[in-house]
Amino acid sequence: MMRKLRPAPLCRSWLFLEGANEDVLQHAAASGADVLIHELEDFTPPPLRPKARALAAELYAAWRDQGVMVAVRVNPLDQDGMDDLAAVMRGRPDIVALPKVAEPHHVVRLDEAVTRFERDYGIAEGSTSLLPNIEFARGLVQTGAIAMASRRVIGCLMASEDLAADLGAERGSDGLELAYARQRFIVECRAADVVAVDCPYTWSDAEGVERDTIWARGLGYTAKSLVDPAHASIVNGVLTPSEEEMRQAGRIVAAFEAARTKGLGRVELDGSLLEVPTYSNAKRLIARGEALRAIDRDVRA
C-alpha cells in the first residue's frame, strides 16, 4: 500500500544520492531523510548517466512506497538535462531540481520541458514541482525572481561548493564564508513564499552538522540539504521542535492569551516581555511541531 507523503513545507532533510550507485539508492530510505534526490549531475559521471536514467522508474516507485518525497536533479538543459528528463519523467518524480540556475528564464525553460513530458507521459499537468538550485552569485541576487518564475517552484536550494568557488571564498567547516549568502537566501525565499533549503554540510563529523543546522535554524531555516545519509537523523532532530520547546511555546501562548483577556497588549514571562510577534512565533512552532509529529506517525504506519 502506498504510504502518505510528507508535504514539501514539512520536509526537513533533502538527501543527494549518487545516481548510478544501486546499493546506495536501494538503501537510501533507511536514512530517514524526508526527500531523496536522485542526483544525475555532479554525483553521476557522464558515462554512468544512461544507467542512472534507466533506474528511475522502478527506483522512484520503491522510494514513494517507503513514504519519502521523490526528487531528481537533472543536468543543465543545455547539457544532458533534456535526455535526463526524457527518461526520469517516466518515473513521475514529485520534484525536479535544476542545478546552476542563475536567471529566471532557466526556470521557465524547465517548466516548459516538464509540462511537455507530463503531457507525453500522461502525468497530471502541473503535478511535478520544481526546485531551482542557486549556485552562483548571479543566481543568489535573483533568488526571488527565480522562485517566482513558475508556479511549480515549491522551494529553492542553495549549493555550497559551487557558490563558494564562484565567490572565490575559502571553504571552512565553520561556514563563515557563506554566512551572508545563507542569510540573504532565506530572506529572498521567504519573500517569495517558497521553502528555503539550506546548503549541505560537506564534512563528515556529526558534531559539525548539528552545529551548522542549529545555526541555520536560528536564521529561520526549516529544511537542509545533505550529502551524507548519516546526517539525516541529526538534521531531522534539530529541525523538529523538541518537547521542551513545545512546552515553552505553550506557556507563551497561554500567558499572552490570558493577558489579552484582561485587555493587556503584552505580558512578562520569565523576565521577557511577550508581544504579538513572540506569541505568533510560539503558535507557529506549536503548529509545526504537531504537524511534523502527525506526518511522522502517518509515514511510519
Per DSSP, the residues of 87-149 read HHGGG--SEEEESS--SHHHHHHHHHHHHHHHHHHTPPTT-SEEEEEE-SHHHHTTHHHHHTS
Of the candidates 123, 172, 163, 114, the one whose C-alpha atom is nearest the C-alpha of residue 140 is 163
Q: Are strands 95-98 and 69-73 parallel, antiparallel or unpaired?
A: parallel
Pick from 2, 14, 36: nearest CA to 213: 14
Residues 6 or more apart in contact with residue 42 via CB below 8 angstroms: 99
Q: Note the maximum CA span of the chain.
A: 70
How far is Cα of residue 166 from the mean position of the Cα atoms in its chain? 22
How is residue 128 written as a grid cell? 511535478
- The verdict on whether residue 135 carries a ligand-binding annotation is yes
Q: Is 73 annotated as a binding residue?
A: yes
The residue count of the chain comes to 301
Q: Measured between alpha carbons, how far is 54 from 50 in angstroms, rounded to an integer? A: 6
Question: For residue 19, what is its C-alpha cell?
Answer: 545516481
List all residues 6 or more positions away from 174 whose beta carbon is below 8 Å from its beta carbon. Answer: none
C-alpha cell, 112: 516548459
- Pairing status of strand 267-269 against strand 272-274: antiparallel
* Residue 293 marked ligand-binding: no
How far apart, in whole angstroms, are the C-alpha atoms of residue 96 and residue 301? Answer: 27
Helix (H, G, I), strand (E, B) or coil at 122: coil
Q: Which residues define the annotated binding site for Mg(2+)?
A: 135, 162
Q: Which residues define the annotated binding site?
A: 73, 135, 162
Q: Which residues define the annotated binding site for substrate?
A: 73, 135
